[in-house]
Amino acid sequence: MRLFHVSENHEIDRFEPRTPMRPDLDRSIKLVWAISESRLVNFLTPRDCPRVTYYALPESTPDDISRFLGSTNVHAVIAIESRWFQRMKGTRLAIYEFDPKDFVLQDAIAGYYVSTSPQVPIGVESVDDLFSAIFARNCELRVLPNLWPLCNAVKASSLGFSMCRMRNALPQELQ
């Protein structure tokens, strides 16, 4: 298993555990977050970019697969709002790799792993072209005016999904 952390900061030598921002997690336990290799593509956007990411699960229905993935053979779809397109073109990311030994699974569908101990990366890769990096991982990128209709539909489907930074998405009433 390979675990990663994606950042716009290219100069991190050590990751210190931080208090989680999510209200569903125990804020008294500081964590270092990592993402599985299979879900790494979900983070190949600017940090604050709202996105809806999804993929077929073994138990996903043929109707949902057809409706959301179409007839393509992509592994996943990432949808962003059109107002983030130019920013994506100019963003450069660092993909830090961790030794997985200190990490435990936090969310299997989203691919999140956490550690309570500081982490020193075992490698780092720079990504200058986010679009090429997404496509190289057999993922489709969809650019939409507003993410909320898709977000709500995917949540109600049988697909695996992760909704990231939706607090930065355009308001639902503008859909």
Residue pLDDT tens, the chain, 175 long: 999 999 999 999 999 999 988 888 889 999 999 999 999 999 999 999 999 999 999 999 999 999 999 878 898 999 999 999 999 999 999 999 999 999 999 999 889 999 999 999 999 999 999 999 999 999 999 999 999 999 999 999 999 999 999 999 998 765 5
Query: Residue 81 CB: number of other CB atoms within 10 A?
Result: 19
Longest dimension (CA), the chain: 46
Domains identified in the chain, total number:
1
Residue 61's DSSP bridge partners are none
Which structural domain range is residue 81 located in? Answer: 3-174
Query: Residue 16 CB: number of other CB atoms within 10 A?
Result: 10
Q: Which strands, in side-by-side order, build the sheet including 104-107? A: 104-107, 112-115, 32-36, 3-7, 93-98, 123-127
Instruction: Say which DSSP state 128 is in.
Output: S
pTM attached to this predicted model: 0.90
